[in-house]
Amino acid sequence: MSFGLNTVILNQFEAAMRTLLQAIEDCPGGEWSSDHLDGPFSQVAFHVLLFTDIYLGRSEEAVKNQDFHLRNKGFFRDYEELEDRKPSYTYARSDILDYFDFCLRKGRTEIPEESNEVLSGESGFPYRKFPRLELHIYSIRHIQHHAAQLGLRNQFSVGKELRWVGSGWKEYGP
């Protein structure tokens, strides 16, 4: 992959995912499944990963038929996140970390392969009426939004702030 849009998208995707991982790793055990107004920590983590997975793909149905999903049917259960109802399931941290790893690998595989033609084409989702490039930016913003939300929970409960990740996987700012 030469430096271009794909590189920028991948760098910012990795930075957002690295921030999310900090929040997941920093969450104290007692907070993991505790109810909050927006749901338990594990539900929010699952939510952001599911939509990251979906938006890296081409459709919700295609995502459900991936090997990872088929091997982990108990984890995904009935895909309540895709229903118009408040989610009720909680998730083990180890399962969330496995799903995180899957989504990170998927992003690292899919993003570099998208041509400028694909990036300038439709998002692939009828409810996201903007180009695929904008879908990637939307998804990165979604990851970062929830990483910040979860990071703030951690900051209130244990006093640990999220470190800034500027670009790529390991870069931290001041």
b/e sequence 55-77, b meaning 16+ C-beta within 10 Å: bbbeeeeebbeeebbeeeeebbe
- CA 164 from centroid of its chain's CA atoms: 17
Model confidence pLDDT, tens digit, residues 121-169: 887 878 888 888 998 999 999 999 999 988 888 788 888 888 778 777 7
What are the chain's domains? 5-158 (1.20.120.450)
One-letter amino acid of 55: Y
One-letter amino acid of 150: L
Alpha helix ranges (H) inside 1-77:
5-26, 29-32, 41-56, 60-64, 67-71, 73-76
pLDDT confidence of residue 37: 72
pLDDT in tens, the chain (174 residues): 445 888 889 989 999 999 999 999 988 888 888 877 778 888 999 999 999 999 999 888 888 999 999 999 988 888 877 777 777 788 999 999 999 999 999 999 999 999 888 888 887 878 888 888 998 999 999 999 999 988 888 788 888 888 778 777 775 554
If phi > 0 it is left, if psi is from -120 to 50 it is alpha, else beta; for residue 173 that is: beta
How many CB atoms are located within 10 Å of the residue 8 CB? 14
